[in-house]
Amino acid sequence: MLGFFVFFIIFGYALSIWLNDPSILLIAVIVSVVQAFVSYFYSDKITLMTVRAREAKREEYLELHRLAENLSIAAGLPKPKIYVINDASPNAFATGRDPKNACLVVSRGLLDKLNKVELEGVVSHELAHIGNYDIRLMTIVVVLVGAIALASDWSLRMRFWGSDDDNNSSGIWILLGIALAILAPLSATLVQLAISRRREYLADATGALITRYPEGLASALEKISADKSATHLQNRAVSHLFIADPYKADRTKQVQQSWLQTVFSTHPPVAVRVARLRAMINNG
């Protein structure tokens, strides 16, 4: 995270010099702070509304509640609120700014298609995200990426539509400034995706430690990835939250991805995740 903040500061400083206008950085920071406030306190509610999740009543989903309670005790976390999505595709995610305000969301397909051990693996993975404060981390990262993209867009508009009175800027500096304004948002997005993939690996490992049975999560990942049910989710903006990307095809057999596929993915390849989990069994 420190590297991301440094990158943002350097980017804003460079734009201020290029445009000879320090207010660019100030405006971008103000907007990003407002966006961060809204995201921090209301992102969970917005997300639940986006996927049309409904609260899972205890009497209707008693086994799920008991499973979540037992795993929360093992993880040393408060039991999250539990929601269900009416979707045939098996998947799950967690949201909320901290463990006390966390929500666990599972699909009907997950409850119908996974056995108890596999379901424990998935729930422990999501509890790991909660315990590792991944939702808070990714909210900050998304805000920073958005602020960089916003500052970049403003700088390009001001440069091309602003006055031509500044004759002191050499051609090479103008070209460098344009290149920075174009490449910085792309670089920031790639950093965001890389952080997302690393946190998935960490949640896999932490979740396996909670259940002390990595095979449960490994089997669940294979089953989720191989499932052919079409998802009814209409918004791809939340796909990075799920334990497996709901819009990806079967990748359980794809051990190696191309470099380009990897860097533009929010999730690591399922085959690699499964291999790492089973390596924990062999090394244990």
Q: What confidence tens digit (pLDDT) does each residue in 80-90 have?
A: 999 999 999 99
Give the catalytic positions in this structure: 126
Domain encompassing residue 150 = 2-160+169-283
> Cα(151)–Cα(160) distance, rounded to whole angstroms?
14
- The label of the residue with tokens 């998304």 reads 142
- The label of the residue with tokens 């009543």 reads 57
Structure letter (DSSP) for residue 244: S
- The label of the residue with tokens 């499973």 reads 67
User: Considering the chain, what percentage of its residues have pLDDT values greater than 70?
Assistant: 61
pLDDT at 21 over 70: no
Number of CB atoms found within 10 A of residue 194's CB: 14
Total-model pTM? 0.76
53 vs 157, residue with greater confidence: 53
Counted domains in the chain = 1
215 has binding-site annotation: no
For the segment 30-59, the average pLDDT, to the nearest whole number, is 81
Q: Give φ, ψ of 82 to 5 degrees.
A: -115, 130
200 has binding-site annotation: yes
Q: How far is CA 29 from CA 9, 149, 173, 189, 192, in A?
A: 10, 12, 24, 18, 18
125 has binding-site annotation: yes
When the pLDDT of each residue in the chain is averaged and rounded to a whole number, the result is 79
